[in-house]
Amino acid sequence: MKVVLFVCLAAVAFARPDGDAELLLDEREDQGDGNFRYVFETSNGIFKETVGTPGAEGQSNMVGSYRFTDPDGNVVEVRFTADENGFVPESDAIPQPPPLPAHVPELLAIAEQQQREGIEFDDQGFPL
């Protein structure tokens, strides 16, 4: 969640208004039934495209991408989906956590087994 928030804030910060930027493309379609599409692009390298459809649980499902140029001159592109599973961005620019240590999957399996068996622990970590 923190990564998503960071990426969104970074996109907004890098996409701040540029007094010399011009709108190159602005297309919008809304069919009025939950289906929509929009795309825009500016002369300073900001681009965003989103397609939306109604979701089975009442939400809007969206897929799209946006890109901008970072302060070092690198073009950053983020592809995303947003649906009943939340917002899922994909980009080489999003930092990835290191791999889990080898013992973690085993500990998670033990915890799941204990939960299935109804074993509970107090706030000190001792079985009740």
Q: Within a domain: residue 115?
A: no
User: What mean pLDDT, rounded, does the chain reach?
Assistant: 87
Contacts of 41 (CB under 8 A, 6+ apart): 23, 24, 25, 47, 48
Q: Within a domain: residue 123?
A: no
> Which pLDDT score is estimated for 5?
45
HSE-CB at 49 with a 13 A cutoff on CA atoms is 6
Confidence of residue 57 (pLDDT cuts 50, 70, 90): confident
Which is more confidently placed, 108 or 128? 108
Q: Within a domain: residue 24?
A: yes
Q: Within a domain: residue 74?
A: yes
- Structural domain total, the chain: 1
Q: Within a domain: residue 59?
A: yes
pTM score over 0.75: no
**Residue numbers of the domain that contains 93:** 2-98
Q: Within a domain: residue 10?
A: yes
> Which pLDDT score is estimated for 14?
55
Q: Within a domain: residue 114?
A: no
